[in-house]
Amino acid sequence: MAGFTRAGAVLGALTLAASLALTGCGDKQKKPEFVGGAGSSASAAPGATDPSTAAAPSGTALTLSPADGTKNRPVSTEISTTLPDGAKVSEVTLTAASGGTVEGKLRADGSSWVPSAPLKWSTRYTATLTATGPGGTTSQGTSSFTTMAKPKSTIGSGLYLFDDKTYGVAMPVVTEFTPGIPKKDRAAVQKRMFVKTDPPQPGAWHWLDNGTQAYYRAPEYWKPGTTITVRIALAGMPLSNGKYGNVDRKATAKIGRAFEMKVDNANKQMTVYENGAVVRTLPVSLGAKRTPSSSGTLVVMEKKEATVFDTRDDPDPANRYVTDIQFAQRLTWGGEYIHAAPWSEDKQGRVNVSHGCVNVSTANARWLFDKTRIGDPITIKGTERRLAAGNGWTAWSLSWSDFVKGSALPVPEGGSGPAL
């Protein structure tokens, strides 16, 4: 995609869980529920023809991308040009043949103008871009193009964030793709995944190796009271494997108070913090040596006041059982939970006897269940197993320096700002 440039220089899973085959004491793996939504991309569809965009002197006509007369553009198309020296984009107008005007915004780096929703299939659009120079001189360009027909081959996508919900301070933005995004496409896809936080906080994306999930987080837990606005703008975006993004997904959610749980296998105690202060210490029983709990920073993903753990399909006969469970809070896709375990209350604080879960008394399980939110963190240390990447929302189990290595785009020191 051509960008807004000066003199030619650019302006500044779940299939994954099944493959893990980890021991857990929980119920069978649960499929995610995806939020629906609405998008755009700079990549050209097969058959699209973009011209070279030589710099235009101030006061002359600008050459836009897509070029005038271009056909078969994806509905993720963005509007761009090469700017005269010292000029800035002052206005972009995009209208459909029917006369409807398309809303949109400039990217934070000024490289292109992004429609706020996917364009329509097989529709003719006219773009007009106006740039203003240092002395007030204006340059303008106009281009008409037509979008492609709706493709038959698409990817599935999901967003684990819901409108008007309040989450814990460790809630990552979690996206999922089925099939996974090919490595060579991840930078282009990541450019279409927008996150804005209020108050502003730096952040970055991290891809799992197989491309089925990407997480967005800040260097530290979110500030309590933060509003997170997300747009995964992939509708109609072409990928190298011949598939296209299926839909845009959007959500705006809140972050609540700071609530954190820390478990130390050395003393088999859970210390609970609220807004930085210790509010309770609970005895626990973790996974026995043959079925250890995962050490790392995990996130509460799901809560069930009552459920049934059914592990009769476990390949190890010693791990097969059916048990009614109260106050269950899922931590991994492999089946690790915090839950009430009245049968192990005499062992809690002394011996590890679970199949990988964090066992607490019924009274303590009820108290925790009433206090926690989806997205609250629990850090477990000192067990015989490390938390596997992607076995749950594992964004916080990496240091910030290691986390940013999983980004498909360069991350400025401290993290990137809002993408749109």
Total tally of structural domains belonging to the chain: 3
355 is catalytic: no
Cα–Cα distance for residue pair 416/201, rounded to 1 Å: 9
Longest dimension (CA), the chain: 82
**Domain ends where: 147, 171, 192?**
147
Per-residue confidence band for 243, with pLDDT thresholds at 50, 70 and 90: very high
Per-residue confidence band for 21, with pLDDT thresholds at 50, 70 and 90: very low
Q: What is the mean pLDDT of residues 256-269?
A: 98
Query: What stretch of H or E contains 294?
Result: strand 294-299
Q: What is the mean pLDDT of residues 320-332?
A: 88
Examine residue 58 and state whether it is found in any structural domain, yes or no.
yes
Domain boundaries, position 97: 46-147
Per-residue confidence band for 9, with pLDDT thresholds at 50, 70 and 90: very low
Task: Say what the pLDDT of residue 394 is.
Answer: 96
Percent of the chain with pLDDT over 90: 74
Task: Say what the pLDDT of residue 38 is.
Answer: 34
Task: Say what the pLDDT of residue 12 is.
Answer: 30
Task: Say what the pLDDT of residue 137 is.
Answer: 87
Are 297 and 396 spatial neighbours (Cβ–Cβ below 8 Å)?
A: yes
Q: Let me know whether 250 and 324 are in one domain.
A: no
**Domain ends where: 147, 168, 199?**
147
Q: Is the pLDDT of residue 10 over 70?
A: no
Query: What stretch of H or E contains 15?
Result: helix 15-20
For every residue of 203-268, DSSP letters joined together read BEEEE-TTSSEEEEE-SSPPPTT-EEEEEEE-TT-B-TTS-EE--EEEEEEEE-S-EEEEEETTTT
Task: Say what the pLDDT of residue 163 is.
Answer: 95
25 is catalytic: no
Q: Is the pLDDT of residue 353 over 50?
A: yes
Are 115 and 104 spatial neighbours (Cβ–Cβ below 8 Å)?
A: yes
Examine residue 106 and state whether it is found in any structural domain, yes or no.
yes
Q: Let me know whether 288 and 379 are in one domain.
A: yes
Range of lowest pLDDT (109-113, 194-198, 286-290, 370-374): 109-113
Q: Let me know whether 263 and 377 are in one domain.
A: yes
Task: Say what the pLDDT of residue 415 is.
Answer: 75
Tokens coding 408: 């498909």
The label of the residue with tokens 């500030």 reads 223
Cα–Cα distance for residue pair 362/331, rounded to 1 Å: 18
More confident site: 150 or 136: 150
User: Closest Cα to residue 357, out of 49, 23, 68?
Assistant: 23
Q: What is the mean pLDDT of residues 391-407?
A: 96
Task: Say what the pLDDT of residue 134 is.
Answer: 87
Q: Is the pLDDT of residue 296 over 50?
A: yes
Task: Say what the pLDDT of residue 311 is.
Answer: 66
Task: Say what the pLDDT of residue 71 is.
Answer: 97
**Domain ends where: 108, 124, 147?**
147
User: Closest Cα to residue 171, out of 329, 373, 408, 342?
Assistant: 373
Examine residue 92 and state whether it is found in any structural domain, yes or no.
yes
Which of 25, 206, 355, 357 is flagged as catalytic? 357
Looking up residue 60, the CATH number of its domain turns out to be 2.60.40.3780
Q: Let me know whether 124 and 188 are in one domain.
A: no
Task: Say what the pLDDT of residue 22 is.
Answer: 42
Tokens coding 52: 């070279």
Range of lowest pLDDT (47-51, 269-273, 280-284, 392-396): 47-51
Question: Torsion over CA of 279, 281, 287 and 288, rounded to 10 degrees?
Answer: 170
Are 92 and 127 spatial neighbours (Cβ–Cβ below 8 Å)?
A: yes
Task: Please name the amino acid found at residue 252.
Answer: T
Residue 91 phi, psi dihedral angles, 5° rounding? -165, 140
| 83-113 per-position pLDDT tens digit | 988 899 999 999 999 888 999 999 988 889 9
Cα–Cα distance for residue pair 391/128, rounded to 1 Å: 48
Task: Say what the pLDDT of residue 53 is.
Answer: 39
Per-residue confidence band for 143, with pLDDT thresholds at 50, 70 and 90: very high
Q: Let me know whether 124 and 69 are in one domain.
A: yes
Task: Say what the pLDDT of residue 322 is.
Answer: 72
Q: Let me know whether 251 and 266 are in one domain.
A: no
Which of 25, 206, 339, 355 is flagged as catalytic? 339
Q: What is the mean pLDDT of residues 15-23?
A: 37
Tokens coding 278: 């210790």
Q: Let me know whether 282 and 386 are in one domain.
A: yes
Cα–Cα distance for residue pair 402/405, rounded to 1 Å: 5
